[in-house]
Amino acid sequence: MKCLIFYGTAEGHTFKIAESISEKFQAAGYEVSIQDASKSVSHIDLSDLDAFLATAPVHQQRHPDAVIDFIKVHSASLNALPSALISVSLSAAFENGRPDAQAYVDRLLDRTGWRPTAIHLAAGALRYEKYDYFQEQIIRHIVLKDRAPEQIEGDHDFTDWDALALFIDDFEATSSKVKSISGSSST
């Protein structure tokens, strides 16, 4: 069975998530391709896929344009497949930020017409070594304000890797069932 993991990344954390997902799908017997949204995507053939996952970070309340554009162009094909969106944001790390994280997803879905089979809100990471002074100030005084239980110094990974693994296990199991019921014979 074939799976495409399509990702966008700014500081590398979403790529780390995409690699983790790839390992789980490979262990389940899938042939996996990972595609960076910022690279040329005109060669991607969705016709022989059995599953599609998009992993996309949120920065300044938006997912990357390259991810949105690809999904918009291919939404009809993606809607015919078992598909999942993993939206990665710092907002998802905090209970009072989860409505914001869901709003980012809703905006992406409204803009693209994509209706993924499953959606996961994954908490992102702080990568201070990747930020300039102004980005760091926005993180500290806007994104983390009234959310972080204490001032967080240095890089910090908020991702709940166990919850992500359970989500991927559930999605993979559902995808396998859907494809076996539909009679797919892709390998």
pLDDT in tens, 64-100: 999 999 999 999 999 999 999 999 998 898 888 899 9
Return the amino acid letter for 163.
A
Q: Identify each DSSP E strand in 24-116 by its residue range.
A: 31-36, 51-57, 83-89
> Please, is 25 exposed, middle or buried when counting C-beta atoms within 10 Å of its C-beta (0-12, 13-18, 19+)?
buried
Q: Identify each DSSP E strand in 37-155 by its residue range.
A: 51-57, 83-89, 118-123, 125-126
Domain at 2-182, CATH class = alpha beta
Mean pLDDT by 10 residues, the chain (187 residues): 93 94 94 92 87 94 94 95 96 90 97 97 83 69 62 77 96 77 46
From residue 179, give the alpha-carbon distance in Å to each of 81, 95, 172: 9, 35, 10
Residue 41: per-residue pLDDT: 80
Residue ranges of domains in the chain:
2-182
